[in-house]
């Protein structure tokens, strides 16, 4: 999965005590305490399209939670965070399918910026075939339209691959034509695979009586 989005939070920090504190599952990079900036990356693998990202900061000396909704288009925000140890950054990512939250306890050094990177990778949801017509067992001759109905929960653009065991397929997309010649007693199985271009696919087939 490739990164879908990332952002930085930069704040001017007030003076205060600072001790090295690290924590939080999935931290990438260094959370330092001292003269340098505090930097870390929160990594997410999510299902669905990202709807919102919110950061909440709490800790000793912070009377009310500091909350910031991140614009998912610019993916940047700036706010002030008092320095000190035990600053809890709670980063919430909401998609159209689920909500993901990770917590990171970091040390905020005196008068230094805090950089928080969030890397989001979207897990693919494959297409779903909801119907294919005509139904199996239908009698067909010469030129028969065949249609498949499919959708994709991630709204990916779908492609269609058709094949037949007898005759040929003409056309493209979700509706094609099965072309057959006369046959006294035989069948043709038409198959379709629907792909979303991101590794997801779904398949269906119908067998027709040819006359």
pLDDT at 76: 74
**Does 133 lie in the same domain as 44?**
no
**pLDDT of 143 higher than 80:** yes
Residues in contact with 52: Cβ distance below 8 Å, sequence separation at least 6, in sequence order: 69, 70, 72, 92, 93, 94
Higher per-residue confidence, 41 vs 2 = 41
**Does 67 lie in the same domain as 29?**
yes
Residues in contact with 103: Cβ distance below 8 Å, sequence separation at least 6, in sequence order: 23, 24, 88, 89, 90, 91
Q: Provide the edge-to-edge strand list for the sheet that holds 84-95.
A: 66-70, 50-58, 84-95, 99-108
Domain boundary among 123, 140, 170: 123
Count up the domains in the chain and report the number: 2
CATH assignment at residue 73: 2.60.40
Its pTM stands at 0.63
Domain extent for 203: 128-210
**Does 107 lie in the same domain as 35?**
yes
**pLDDT of 205 higher than 90:** yes
The chain-wide mean pLDDT, for the chain, equals: 82
Residue 53, both tokens: 């990202």
CATH assignment at residue 157: 2.60.40.10
Express each pLDDT in 7-59 by its tens digit: 555 555 555 544 433 444 444 454 555 556 666 677 788 888 889 999 899 98
pLDDT at 157: 96
């Amino acid at each position: 999965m490739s990164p879908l989005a990332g952002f930085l939070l930069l704040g001017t920090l007030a003076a205060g005590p600072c001790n090295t504190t690290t924590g939080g599952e999935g931290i990438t990079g260094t959370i330092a305490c001292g003269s340098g900036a505090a930097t870390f990356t929160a990594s997410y693998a999510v299902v669905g399209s990202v709807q919102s990202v919110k950061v909440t900061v709490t800790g000793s000396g912070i009377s009310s939670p500091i909350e910031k909704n991140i614009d998912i288009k610019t993916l940047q925000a700036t706010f002030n965070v008092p320095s000190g140890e035990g600053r809890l950054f709670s980063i919430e990512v909401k998609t159209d399918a689920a909500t993901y939250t990770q917590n990171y306890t970091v040390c905020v050094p005196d008068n230094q910026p805090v950089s928080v990177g969030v890397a989001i990778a979207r897990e693919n949801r494959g297409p779903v075939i909801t119907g294919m017509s005509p139904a199996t067992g239908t009698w067909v001759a010469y030129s028969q339209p065949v249609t498949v109905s499919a959708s994709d929960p991630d709204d990916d653009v779908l492609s269609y691959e058709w094949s037949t065991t007898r005759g040929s397929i003409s056309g493209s997309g979700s509706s094609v034509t099965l072309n057959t010649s006369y046959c006294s007693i035989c069948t043709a199985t038409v198959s379709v695979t629907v792909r979303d271009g991101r590794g997801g696919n779904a398949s269906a087939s119908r067998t027709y009586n040819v006359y």
